[in-house]
Structure 1
Amino acid sequence: MLLKKELGLTFKSLTYWLVILFIGAFLFMQLGSDFVSLKQPEPGRNDYGFTRTTNKEIIQRQTLHTLLQQYNNKRYNTYPFGFLKVVKPSKSDQAAIRDILERATGQSIDELNQVQSRDKITEEGQQINQTAMNEGVPIAKNYSFQSFQKDMAKIEKRIGKGSDFAEDTYLHQTIKEMNYEEAKARFQSILTEDRVSGAFARMSCDYLVIILGLVPVFIAATVVLRDKRAQSQLVISTKRISTFKLYGTRFLATILLLLLPIILFSLMPAVQSVYVAQKYQHTGDLLLFYQYILGWTLPTIVAVVGISFLITTLFNGLVSVIFQVGFWLLSLMVNGRQVVGSVGLNLMPRFNNVGSREIFEHIFSELVINRIFWFALGLICFFISCVIFDLKRKGKVLYGNLR
């Protein structure tokens, strides 16, 4: 009965419906009515897209090409907190980088600059042709990958953290053009291993965790502050119901009311994944789709709601909203340059790509640890908020301070 009452109170609140409308609008803008066009690659085409590569030679060539461009421009791009910060090097920095370029390639800067004329631009005028880049930058015969890594570390130390020459950046962002066989293999992987639904689900989860990393705080703060707004704090404090039962019911109701619209909103890409699979004579899997949805998004919801319960209970105000907005922006910026397979301990694991199962398999164990961490943290914050609220009910704590 208490859970039903809490569900009803939150369900009737204006804040809840504004949040749900915001989630729906965000997902519709990102996913649209036609989520993705999955097309079978045809032989004889010139462009099959790009894929991430771990080929050390390609990594060296592309990174050195980028270094040459930024050396010539005398401007180095860094992203220390997700925002672009252009670093203008000193004369000594330029001299050191010039030495690294010439030693790594076995050619002078003047000779290397001929590479610029061989760069090719695509029809959109934005994407540099990766094949031309790879063919244009030579690698000295005695220059090993270990030497390359040490030199890039020296460059990053000179120009600052978050540059294109950070190991995590060049190892995970180096790409190469796919040929027909590779594109066909990726397509078959989506049909057979992912059953289409898995590939669509990962993309859906990417957008979902972005919005769920923020909006639950508004509902959670409203739920915790409900008694204060209704001026019923003294009545609640004298009730015989246990603090854990009262807070636990509110916590569970908030989780359920956030999860329900997520399940409904994600029905569109879920059904589309089944339709696309049937189009290519395969069978989609709605169960697999929602396994991704629950496993990927639920920990984010629990974490944000738990943290919001704790901060709102402790400070008895909307401090949790300010905190979560700041934390959300920071989490988003940290993953700003790597949106496929970026996990770590970030609140919002990113996978903004349909397919790339090989990347997913590589990060799977890391993703599991990440999701368990945030789920557990959310529960821990909730339990601490119960303790604080119980002390407040007993008059031992006032606005987070011991009396």
Structure 2
Amino acid sequence: MSFAFCISPSRLVRFLISLACLLYASPTLAQQTIQGRVINGTTNLPAPHQKVELLTLGEGMKTASEIESGSDGSFTFSAVENSQTPHLLLRVLYHGVNYNLSVASHEEMEKPVTLTIYEPTQRTEDIQVSMPVMLAQASANALLVQQQYLVVNETTPKKTLVSPQGTFFFDTPPEVTDELNVVVVGLAGIPLPQTPTPKSGGGYFISYPMKPGVNEVRVSYRVNFNSSQRELKHRLFYGTSTARVLILPADLQVSGDGVQSAGKDSRTQAAMYQVKRIRKGEFLDIKIIGEAPKVSESDDASRDSESSEPQMQVVRLPNPVFEKKEIILGAFGVFFVLTILYALRQRTRHTNKTGASRKGIHGPQA
């Protein structure tokens, strides 16, 4: 007999509501052990005598416990509070670099985990940097610019790029004097703000440790111009093989050396352009001409000003991590609502049938 016929519609509704409460709440249910090992990814050997911290990620980041790894790199945290949705982080500080491992599910808590650390290096020969996408949104005569850089660390053996003189360099147009923001996209898509340092000869650098694999850096700034004749020009220290440039509003006139129209971006509704290969140290130079409405740079446009003029909302480069999370939660929400509606419909039918049966048995009296 199927589940649908084993439970009444009203009980099904109550069950689903209770299930939703369990999924979206996180009460402490029990205690569990977390076991794992610290491995040196450069030597592929266990890393003994490393301080391993267990952090909780509730309201802020708090150290719940810490322990030293054994001679074989192993560690065990006992009596860890086990909630419906664990928000735990394991961390090892090695040569001044934080190495983290997220523990976000019961499945991850039930099996041994591996936290990998790496030896440091200052060699940049195996570091590749590209700028795959840039968004320039006109706001009156200004441009709000967001740039995505990918720093790919392919060192062999694997090592973390560490240098106080800079691990990533970038440039901006000379008109940029403030509103410069730099973030590194960290674990689980969390933005980690960085303080850019002016570089001799122009440009900036940050000294964030670039670990093996792909490291994402996002640079955003505002460029002010005296008219709607805008020219976005700055150096690309690393060059780029190809770049996708998104322009808003989509009806602005865009031109430049090697700039070709590539249609429209479906997510941002921006005009899309492809820029051909730019060599190391050469300039990205794009002219963006045309009138544009003023853009609200706040998440809440009503806070910005008391002006009665309509304001466009600033468009931001999408974050794939949060997009996937929203899709998953959205899919569950749709399923949950449809199931509730089905249960209510079945309950109505059941009530109607019962009423009809009673009406047939206790019909109108003569």
Q: Shared fold by TM > 0.5?
A: no
**TM-score of the pair, normalised by structure 1:** 0.23
- Structure whose residues are more often strand by fraction: 2
Please state which structure has a larger fraction of its residues in helix. 1
State TM-score, norm by structure 2.
Answer: 0.24
Mark the structure with the bigger radius of gyration: 2
